[in-house]
Structure 1
Amino acid sequence: MSAMFLRTFLFLFLLHREVADSCGGNDAFTFNGFRCRKIVPDGIASITSNGLLVVTNNTFESKGHAFYPTPLRFRDSPNGTVFSFSTTFVFAFISELADLGGDGMAFLVSPTKDFSGAIGNQYLGLFNSSNLGNPTNHVLAIELDTIPNPEFHDIDDNHVGININDMKSDELHTAGYYLNDTGSFENLSLSSGQTMQVWVDYDSHAMRLDVTLASIPMAKPHRPLLSAVVNLSSVLLETMYVGFSSSTGPWLTSHYVLGWSFKMNGVAQALDPSLMPSLPRAKSNHKLKVLRIGLPLASAGFAVIIAGIIVSIVRWRIKYAEVLEDWELEYGPHRFSCRDLFIATKGFNDKELVGIGGFGKVYKGVLQTSKSEIAVKRVSHESRQGMREFIAEIVSIGRLRHRNLVQLLGYCRRKGELLLVYDYMPNGSLDKFLYDQEKPTLDWATRFRIIKGVASGLLYLHEDWEQVVIHRDIKASNVLLDHELNGRLGDFGLARLYDHGTDPHTTHIVGTMGYLAPEFVRTGKATTITDVFAFGIFLLEVACGKRPVDSIASGEKLILLDWVVENWWQESILATRDPRLGEEYVVEEMELVLKLGLLCSHPLPAGRPSMRQVVEYLEGEAALPELSPTYLSFSVPAMLHNEGFDDYIMSYPSSVATSSAISEGR
């Protein structure tokens, strides 16, 4: 009798599980897990053996999609009334590094399942630069975004947005929920690894779209996180697909969906967390536990072996002795183990060397625990003066998060060295593509995309982060290229931070010859506008394919800025373009970049635009001011004298070439 009861119970349990997992029809479905695999994955998306939908896994610079296989009817005819709909899903984002996720995930309604032409990263695998904002996209997306992108007017690195045909959200809010009893707002971190639930409800009569977020196992909050009046009649076609899209950038992040329910003209069926698959467990370092716990408990019979092992461990620790003071304990995950970095770089083997500069050598490495690729820079720090403040700034810069910045992951101090740990950029620095004849020529579309990306990153540093960050060393060799040849501004070794609304302090003159603003050489005060000057030279460098100070056939030095100005005066500015481009470039974009380079490198600070204006010019949101001899008088000495510049500064940039305080590059 008991055996029959057990079989009956097991049959009913499996039947309930199967029904909960595959209940679907023409206008509704419910998946408490995806064991039935009635979801179509695309890209790197997959379904695990226990029914977990992995939209993107721990893969750099990738995108994934997953769709319900058949289109749903969103209106009764091509011109009929749009139906109401309701959906809810449970998700989790798990990153290898705490609080560093990327780039996010979106629920979407789309006329197609083919997103092969879409870009990952900040586009979340939905659009590309050519179709962004196009009403023919017919895409509604609810984004869960973990990277701030100023070009899309993101508010932070942890928000939910309603997007229509675009990555600029019509409505957006920091992730969280409102308490039912007090109405106060509670934050939720999308990148925390915590399981959360989203509800999306559209009332076609009121044209109201509500998005609600809560952690599991909370009930749906009464007040939605987002509530917007949205007329979807021009967006939704008669039949549409529903699904998920996600992308990863430089940080290893897995985007999971554990359950999903959808209902047309009704309320989506509630999900049952008890039936959903479990998330993967965090990896544990078993070998380390053996060394720390197992060895001291070994029997006396192995005393000699233990003694030998202890001696080896002592020697190992001496070899990898770190400089660690009490005040550094507060920096937690930003501090790396020197042992881990030594192993990652194969003992700082010359075969792993990827760059040498004035401030140290850079090695490629692979962290053993996460298999993440990193770049480790060895910097001398013989002087202890100001080290605490310097480390504090390093950790602060490590909190910067923008897709066009190389992420500074942390640091380690060992004897007379400071080790800085960055994301590894597989395509190296931009200058190699501009000047190394063995490298392929970058086409104009790629160069223009890199320029806009670096501009966006600088805008974030100057205006959109919690503090003002002055980079102080913007140049092509400090722009690194990721897997997709996107430009990322790196090397923050000279960067300085200060609060918004305050003045920066005077510093030593540091930087690279040819990129230094005249007033910086004179006063030693680096500002956002001196960064703009360097960015202007960078624009000319990328467009012309020449260094700021370059040798020519006669053996003399060519000053790039002077040369472009001379051609501008002669109305032949396009003649300065990189000859390797041939005729394969967009004339309007080339003229824009060259003239903007001149505008940014104006000798007077007041003549230069802000980075926000620069981004607006590059994105076509504002017209570039017409350059005129009275406004852009590079060769009128009176202008410089009126500002108090002496003859030494007037001879810029050739006279600063001999200054011992200026770096020749890194």
Structure 2
Amino acid sequence: SQSLLALGLLLLLSLSLDGEVALAAEDGEFAYQGFATANLTLDGLATVMPNGLLLLTDTESSNTGHAFHPAPLQFLLESSTTTTSSTTMARSFSTTFVFAISSRYDGLTSYGLAFVVAPTSNLSTANGGRYMGLLNATNGTASHRILAVELDTIMDVAFRDIDSNHVGIDVNSLVSRQAKPAGYYSNENGAFQDLRLNSRKPMQVWVDYDAQARRINVTLAPVQVPKPRNPLLSEVIDLSTVMVDEMYVGFSASSGTPGDNHHSVLGWSFSFDGPAPALDFFKLPALPRLGPKPRSKILDVVLPPATVSLVIAVLAAVFFFLWHRRRFAEVREDWEDEFGPHRFAYKDLFHATEGFSGRNLLGVGGFGRVYRGLLSAFNLEVAVKRVSHDSKQGLREFIAEVVSIGRLQHRNLARLLGYCRRKGELLLVYEYMENGSLDKYLHTQNKPALHWPERFRIIKGVASSLLYLHEEWEQIVIHRDIKASNVLLDSQMNGRLGDFGLARLYDHVTVSKTTHVVGTMGYLALELIRTGKATPLTDVFAFGVFILEVACGRRPINSSKDITELVLVDWVLEHHRNGSILDVVDPRLMGNFNTEEGTLLLKLGLLCSYPSANARPSMRKVMQYLNRDQSIPDLSAYMSYNRIAMMQNEGFDSYVMSYPSSNTNICVVSGESSVSILEEGR
């Protein structure tokens, strides 16, 4: 009987404890002193380390990470307004957490992390990078209810960020309702103390919402500093218009270039209708060391009295320090602070390329030399382009463009990772492509001929990247130098369009009375030569010539004495009119190609390179043709370049239609140019 009584008591105690846990979960109060035993909902890069540290992103990947409390919380309550009606009201809540943003590479950061309240814990449709895993380019509207407190380490002009080290309150958008530089107000004298979010040091954040006052306060302070009395941010918000009945609470973070950052959360607590439970700093997990190694203790040894040898050693050390600093000296101005995350140290690029050794030289172009390098801190292979620049005019705008282009993300674009400036030199850092440029496979004898499926896939990939540049990114981007040598091949022989930005730098140093046309002869549209103004349709023209170059294995302008083969477009057109268009396909294929695809590409190349700009298709149309969603129109009215030139000489300039007016929000960038045409301003 005693054993039965004991069993009954244990069962009663168990039921009682289960009720308390359920009540606590329903009430929404919890505290995590580390996350080793927490049952969080994780996705993306998020993981819990063995010591209980919540790691939202790592230093090996570029993606997003999310971590949410597993159960939704009741954020809305009904309140009676009259005896016959009621309304919903958001509940007061309070949360606090300790976070750290750490990088193994000091000075290189990437985006940040955010505390988020959302109607779902599944944010798989959100973009990484600048969107921090919260929203994307299409769902940042008020219909998607979301509250976030962002700890942002990137300045993004599109989101009206105030700087690259700020805290912001976001409601249904990544444009903060209010934002301030990271820091806190001292309880002793009320003075503002700056904090650097990516300092590798843990910091604590408090987020408090007062439902009666309809006000949200955000407070930031270093770990073990008492909560400041004055919040960093205070904003009036009626969260009853933002929340739904049940919402999930958690964290989101996004990294950029692999190796950028650890985004970590050490502890977290939450409560409705009262202050969140305090966190015990001594129970929080330790951060991994990612920064430079600690200073050697040899320096702490007490030395004997000064001797001659010591003086010599000190002088040698000073000399070495000054020599080392001069050797790796950089040009850095105040306005570059906002671009800091995209700036590489010259010393790291020097070591990555083995001192820009000749054995690492990949190629030489009109703007400078390109070297292969390995950034050991990231285990990342890069291509470093050294460009000479003597002018300060427009350089700030050019660097802004470089950073902007660095945000482009498409599988068929060679990514521009960042830059460095040293004396009269600009260094651009790109993704490294294992198989080099496409032109070597088309026009050199020591490379194997590309198979037809590879050629078709490369053309389709470049077309997809141009559609992204022209229509799918936040600005219209005009490349201005599409050609085989600017298409790089990755390890899978996929085409990546590269070499952005360099001709724009050349634009900045030209005199104002000069019309500057940048590009490569054979790829230049007639209206571009006449007006000097690049448009998406001038890119389409160059792409058409590029299609013919890849399909035929011939350069746009051949050195043959046969006048019919001098201009590739006219040569293909003549065969088209004679019914022998497939005869122009690269003879190295020995007839091993898909005739239907061959006819499609050759006709599309002629259509895209049509002399009249208005007759060329957009890149969206081009993709529809390549996907066979539409048929290519008849080319019977196509007029050759020789005929156009004759009509111009006879005074019929108007026959060549002017290019259409373009969107005013255009970012014109370009790659390394083989030739520049300068005409005196008219």
- Please report the TM-score for the alignment, with normalisation by the length of structure 1: 0.58
Alignment partner of 2:355: what SS? coil
Alignment partner of 1:389: what SS? coil
Residue type at the aligned position of 2:408: R
Give the 5 Å matches for 1:361-440: 361-367=369-375, 374-379=382-387, 386-389=390-393, 392=396, 395-400=399-404, 402-404=407-409, 406-413=416-423, 418-425=425-432, 431=438, 437=450
Alignment partner of 1:495: what SS? helix
Deviates more, 1:252-261 or 1:137-146: 137-146
1:34 alignment counterpart: 34
Q: How has the CA–CA distance of structure 1 residues 226 and 492 changed in structure 2, closer, same or farther, with 3 Å as cutoff?
A: farther
Provide the C-alpha distance between the structure 2 equivalents of 1:294 and 1:518, rounded to a whole number of angstroms.
77
Provide the C-alpha distance between the structure 2 equivalents of 1:68 and 1:535, rounded to a whole number of angstroms.
50
Provide the C-alpha distance between the structure 2 equivalents of 1:187 and 1:583, rounded to a whole number of angstroms.
67
Residue 38 of structure 1 and its aligned partner are, at CA, apart by 0.8
Give the 5 Å matches for 1:76-475: 86=93, 88-90=95-97, 91-94=99-102, 96=105, 98=107, 100-102=109-111, 105=114, 107=116, 109=118, 115=124, 120-121=128-129, 124=132, 142=148, 144=150, 154-155=159-160, 161-163=170-172, 169=173, 173=177, 175-176=179-180, 195=203, 197=205, 199=207, 213-216=218-221, 217-218=227-228, 220=231, 221-224=233-236, 229-230=241-242, 232=244, 242-250=249-257, 252-263=260-271, 266=273, 269=276, 272=279, 283-284=291-292, 299-301=307-309, 321=327, 338-350=346-358, 352-367=360-375, 374-379=382-387, 386-389=390-393, 392=396, 395-400=399-404, 402-404=407-409, 406-413=416-423, 418-425=425-432, 431=438, 437=450, 442=457, 450-455=465-470, 460=475, 472-474=480-482
1:68 alignment counterpart: 69
- The 8 Å contact of residues 443 and 581 in structure 1, kept in 2 or not, is answered as no
Residue type at the aligned position of 1:223: E
Q: How has the CA–CA distance of structure 1 residues 226 and 618 changed in structure 2, closer, same or farther, with 3 Å as cutoff?
A: farther
Q: How has the CA–CA distance of structure 1 residues 456 and 350 changed in structure 2, closer, same or farther, with 3 Å as cutoff?
A: farther
Provide the C-alpha distance between the structure 2 equivalents of 1:659 and 1:243, rounded to a whole number of angstroms.
52
Provide the C-alpha distance between the structure 2 equivalents of 1:606 and 1:452, rounded to a whole number of angstroms.
18
- The 8 Å contact of residues 103 and 124 in structure 1, kept in 2 or not, is answered as yes
Q: Which whole-Å deviations, capped at 9, do the CAs of 1:610-641 have from their partners, x for residues lacking one? A: xxx9899999xxxx9x99999x9877959996
Alignment partner of 2:253: what SS? strand
* 1:494 equivalenced with 2:503 (yes/no): yes
Q: How has the CA–CA distance of structure 1 residues 431 and 110 changed in structure 2, closer, same or farther, with 3 Å as cutoff?
A: farther
Provide the C-alpha distance between the structure 2 equivalents of 1:486 and 1:214, rounded to a whole number of angstroms.
48
Provide the C-alpha distance between the structure 1 equivalents of 2:139 and 2:596, rounded to a whole number of angstroms.
26
Provide the C-alpha distance between the structure 1 equivalents of 2:304 and 2:529, rounded to a whole number of angstroms.
61
Alignment partner of 1:223: what SS? strand
Provide the C-alpha distance between the structure 2 equivalents of 1:617 and 1:559, rounded to a whole number of angstroms.
20
Provide the C-alpha distance between the structure 1 equivalents of 2:571 and 2:159, rounded to a whole number of angstroms.
38
2:526 alignment counterpart: 518
Q: How has the CA–CA distance of structure 1 residues 367 and 256 changed in structure 2, closer, same or farther, with 3 Å as cutoff?
A: same
- The 8 Å contact of residues 365 and 375 in structure 1, kept in 2 or not, is answered as yes
Deviates more, 1:511-520 or 1:87-96: 87-96
- The 8 Å contact of residues 428 and 480 in structure 1, kept in 2 or not, is answered as yes
2:47 alignment counterpart: 46
Residue 420 of structure 1 and its aligned partner are, at CA, apart by 0.5
Q: How has the CA–CA distance of structure 1 residues 200 and 628 changed in structure 2, closer, same or farther, with 3 Å as cutoff?
A: farther
Give the 5 Å matches for 1:594-633: none
Gaps of 5+ in 2: 1-22, 78-86, 186-192, 222-226, 410-414, 443-448, 586-590, 658-672
Provide the C-alpha distance between the structure 1 equivalents of 2:607 and 2:65, rounded to a whole number of angstroms.
42
Find the structure with the greater CA-based Rg.
Answer: 2
Aligned Cα root-mean-square deviation (Å): 6.9
Residue 44 of structure 1 and its aligned partner are, at CA, apart by 3.2
Residue 28 of structure 1 and its aligned partner are, at CA, apart by 1.9
Provide the C-alpha distance between the structure 1 equivalents of 2:24 and 2:218, rounded to a whole number of angstroms.
24
- The 8 Å contact of residues 444 and 584 in structure 1, kept in 2 or not, is answered as no
2:538 alignment counterpart: 533
Alignment partner of 1:250: what SS? coil
Residue type at the aligned position of 2:257: P
Residue type at the aligned position of 1:492: G
Residue 55 of structure 1 and its aligned partner are, at CA, apart by 0.4
Provide the C-alpha distance between the structure 2 equivalents of 1:47 and 1:642, rounded to a whole number of angstroms.
74
Q: Which whole-Å deviations, capped at 9, do the CAs of 1:238-295 have from their partners, x for residues lacking one? A: xx764333332226133233443345x756726559676676778347679999x999
Q: How has the CA–CA distance of structure 1 residues 36 and 180 changed in structure 2, closer, same or farther, with 3 Å as cutoff?
A: closer
1:4 alignment counterpart: none
Provide the C-alpha distance between the structure 2 equivalents of 1:581 and 1:121, rounded to a whole number of angstroms.
40
- The 8 Å contact of residues 88 and 240 in structure 2, kept in 1 or not, is answered as no
Q: Which whole-Å deviations, capped at 9, do the CAs of 1:496-525 have from their partners, x for residues lacking one? A: 4999xxx987354332234434344235x4
- The 8 Å contact of residues 92 and 193 in structure 1, kept in 2 or not, is answered as yes
Residue type at the aligned position of 1:66: A
Q: Which whole-Å deviations, capped at 9, do the CAs of 1:87-136 have from their partners, x for residues lacking one? A: 64544545646485237556364656695x9864456557999xx7599x
Alignment partner of 2:519: what SS? coil
Q: Percent identity?
A: 26
Residue 346 of structure 1 and its aligned partner are, at CA, apart by 1.9
Provide the C-alpha distance between the structure 1 equivalents of 2:356 and 2:262, rounded to a whole number of angstroms.
30
1:509 alignment counterpart: 517
Residue 297 of structure 1 and its aligned partner are, at CA, apart by 10
Residue 56 of structure 1 and its aligned partner are, at CA, apart by 0.6
Provide the C-alpha distance between the structure 2 equivalents of 1:471 and 1:345, rounded to a whole number of angstroms.
28
Residue type at the aligned position of 1:25: A
Provide the C-alpha distance between the structure 2 equivalents of 1:273 and 1:544, rounded to a whole number of angstroms.
67
Alignment partner of 1:403: what SS? coil
- The 8 Å contact of residues 250 and 423 in structure 1, kept in 2 or not, is answered as no
Residue 59 of structure 1 and its aligned partner are, at CA, apart by 3.0
Residue type at the aligned position of 1:229: T
Q: How has the CA–CA distance of structure 1 residues 351 and 566 changed in structure 2, closer, same or farther, with 3 Å as cutoff?
A: same
Residue 474 of structure 1 and its aligned partner are, at CA, apart by 4.9
Residue type at the aligned position of 1:418: E
1:12 alignment counterpart: none
Q: How has the CA–CA distance of structure 1 residues 46 and 170 changed in structure 2, closer, same or farther, with 3 Å as cutoff?
A: closer
Deviates more, 1:529-538 or 1:119-128: 119-128
- The 8 Å contact of residues 43 and 65 in structure 2, kept in 1 or not, is answered as yes
- The 8 Å contact of residues 102 and 146 in structure 1, kept in 2 or not, is answered as yes
Provide the C-alpha distance between the structure 2 equivalents of 1:580 and 1:149, rounded to a whole number of angstroms.
50
Provide the C-alpha distance between the structure 2 equivalents of 1:341 and 1:250, rounded to a whole number of angstroms.
16
Provide the C-alpha distance between the structure 1 equivalents of 2:114 and 2:123, rounded to a whole number of angstroms.
17
Provide the C-alpha distance between the structure 2 equivalents of 1:565 and 1:160, rounded to a whole number of angstroms.
63
